[in-house]
Structure 1
Amino acid sequence: MESHSGWSENFASSDKPYSGNGLEAVLCCPACRAGGLESLAEGLRCPGCGMLFPRIGETPILVPDAEHHCASVERMQKENPAWYTAEQDPEETSPWRHHLKKRRLYVTGVIRRHLERLGLERAERLLDLGCGDGTNLRWLSAFGRDIHGSDYNPLRLARAERRLPSAKFFLADILRYPVQPDSYDIVFCNHVIEHVPDDLGVLQTIRRILKPGGLAILGTPNEGAWWWQWAYRRAPETLRQTDHVHFYTARIIEAKMLKSSLDVTEIKHLGWGPPDWALDGRIRRYKLVDDGFALFGRVFLPHQASSLYLIATKGKPDA
């Protein structure tokens, strides 16, 4: 499945009968929203509209037109291979490994406190929404009994499956998300929303699939801050190397979360560096430098961090 072409040739490619992987408890049809998807050898079938969703190995492709979706992703991979096919560095090898460790420690602290308040050791069901290569699922998996990951890119899902074979994966469009309401105790959505034009749609999906009283953790770059806007003005070609369509500040993304009826309980600014993309990656690989920028930033530039985390919950059940 590492090949970048001919995805449709891999549909239903497993020699063994498809078990559904236990995902049927939460999945629904992205076309008609019917639950109770039926496991067949070829994949999953909707009992409502009869649509058949193929699979690649054990990963169901839960979009209305699987061949069109995979062909679209293949085109994006050819146009920008560095962005859509390059391996996502795990924390240990990333130039920003010290910053990534700070993010991980913050998020795990939030999850532990949430579970302690509920008197639980683990959540029943946890989702990494936009899991990419699965780098975050390696440590998120300690906090849930049933671990799920979804992404739109079949190449990245294949890598995630290899990194964490105990988790359950499915391919989906976040705006036509094939999950029933109130399904997850914890939803982690990390550096995804800035890529999606309909960001309110992303937030509404998070709220819909989150259980009442559940924990939503949203991470995004703080690129609307003047410090990082300055970095873009100094190197405008950087914009062409990403597909970011939103540039948030804490105030902007919080307002959108509130508009989507997510109750924001905490906002965290994390990570500071020089307003120069190339220099940032070169010098923050050193712990002393990363710690020094963090100390300086917290005191003198508290709202100009490179990353934002917003913690939210869902109040009343959906009608």
Structure 2
Amino acid sequence: MKASRTILSGVMVSAGLALSAAGQTAPASTPPEPATPVAQDGGMAPASGASRTSDIVMGSSSRVNPGFATLNNMMKRVTIELSETRLEDAINFIRTVTGVDMEVFWAEDRDGQGLDKDFTVSLNVRNATALSLLEKLLEKAGSAMGGTNPFPNTWQLNESGGLVVGPKERLNRYKTLVIYDINDLLFDFVDKTNAPTFDLNSAFQSGGGGGGGQSPFQNQGGQDQNADRRTKEEKARDIQKLITDLVETEQWVDNGGDGASVRYWNGAFLINAPDYIHRQIVGYRFWPASATRSGTAGGRRYVTLDGTYQQSSPARFRTQSVPAIVGPGGR
């Protein structure tokens, strides 16, 4: 499934996530090591042996996207024990450790919809990423908000690569229209089951003069099993239902929500949704799905790639003309 972004004339204009891999940009300077937060009554203190290192290796094509730097910093490992800690203090700890530009929607804002700063959380994590810690905090904060949605809070990236955190109802205001090309999923393989047979013996037996022999091709006269194959529109409706049933079900307009909408047109889906929904559909193009690795499964060798490689050709090889050599007489 291929995706391309267009400009949305709505609350926010979002730039495309996938940028060209051409050109190199200087890597961002490493932020200074933040000071260790001091534990206070009801506060938090990092456990001993806390690790704050990044495990992600950047590809050259990923450095051009500001969102990559944000997620790369959120991959830092932390070990911490929280005991009746205010949610605001816990999120500030993540902001301090990672140095990430983070915008949090609090309930005290003029909008009214947001996270409760004074909500207390108790949590113990060891060698987890800062992003995983943030998601656990949002999950615990959501359990106290009530409602039918068990996971009302999440995070997403804005157009400048910053991290935005808060209730989904508020994040839904920042939508981007993305065109997903699904022609590869709609392609129909035609299986011909009534092809004629060829009888070589009859061709030899009827090879007499006069040209009145029987044709060696014999039509089987069977029914084409593909005569009732489904149209592209029918297949697209099934794919659309899979997306709306599996990805943030309650947010789609088709399911009674107001967070996202999808329409099919000319071999493509036009999806108008916030970033956290697009992320679950196609992921981030600048973020490797997995590290390049090799191993064995069932005694067989396999290799997986993260998609950052490019087409290449053997080094130090070039085309060389070779003169023909013939024997006497040109043979």
Q: TM-score, normalised by structure 1?
A: 0.24
Greater C-alpha radius of gyration:
2
Q: TM-score, normalised by structure 2?
A: 0.23
Which structure: greater helix fraction?
1
